[in-house]
Chain A
């Protein structure tokens, strides 16, 4: 069964810092990988979707990379802001089925 791990579980950084969130998965046979943001008590917001044939995707200050062979993805946030404070989740879509496998998330706090 696909296992998705996110490290660290929590992270606190000062405003303006660049940071990297990590996501690893055990089965490299994936169709795509998605990064989401979740604010407390809210639903998930899709940030970036990387297809298995892609190496990275960018949206504004966010850049997500994918290394399928090593089972890793990173989410890079440039020039962090207090508004970036949230939980970030990654989810892997396997080739074999329709069920996304989610990590437990990284809780990010950006302090002014």
Chain B
């Protein structure tokens, strides 16, 4: 079945460690996105990519990094510079920009100990 796969589903990290969240899609979508969701807040955009080897910062990119070497993959690294990394992270994709219908993965919950 076509879809978006995020892994791991749950991740625990010690302070000062970098962690990488995986996002893979087999929908043949050009655009991919990373969102962060905190309790009581709307989703906030971290990074997005409209095409391979290109990506742009969203509203809250500080302390995060991404790469887009393949169309299917858009991993997110949460670096030690991110002040408050404990959150639920959601990856999404669309055919052509956010003006198209957005499809989401199941999310990854990161907890910093």
Residues of A at under 8 Å CB distance from B? 4, 31-32, 34, 36, 41-46, 49, 89, 91, 93, 98-105
State whether A45 touches B43 (Cβ < 8 A).
no
B48 CB to closest chain A CB, in angstroms? 6
Secondary structure class of chain A's binding surface, majority of residues: strand
State whether B102 touches A100 (Cβ < 8 A).
yes
State whether A100 touches B98 (Cβ < 8 A).
yes
Residue in A32, A34, A44 whose Cβ sees the most chain B Cβ within 10 Å: A44
Report chain B residues within 8 Å CB of A98.
Answer: 31, 48, 50, 56, 97-99
In Å, the complex CA distance between A23 and B85 comes to 29
Report chain B residues within 8 Å CB of A100.
Answer: 43, 45, 98, 102
Binds A, one of B12-20, B67-75, B76-84, B103-111: B103-111
Q: Can you name 20 A-B pairs with beta carbons within 8 Å? A: A31-B99, A34-B101, A42-B107, A43-B90, A43-B104, A43-B106, A44-B90, A49-B101, A89-B43, A93-B99, A98-B31, A98-B48, A98-B50, A98-B56, A98-B98, A99-B59, A100-B45, A100-B98, A103-B42, A105-B42
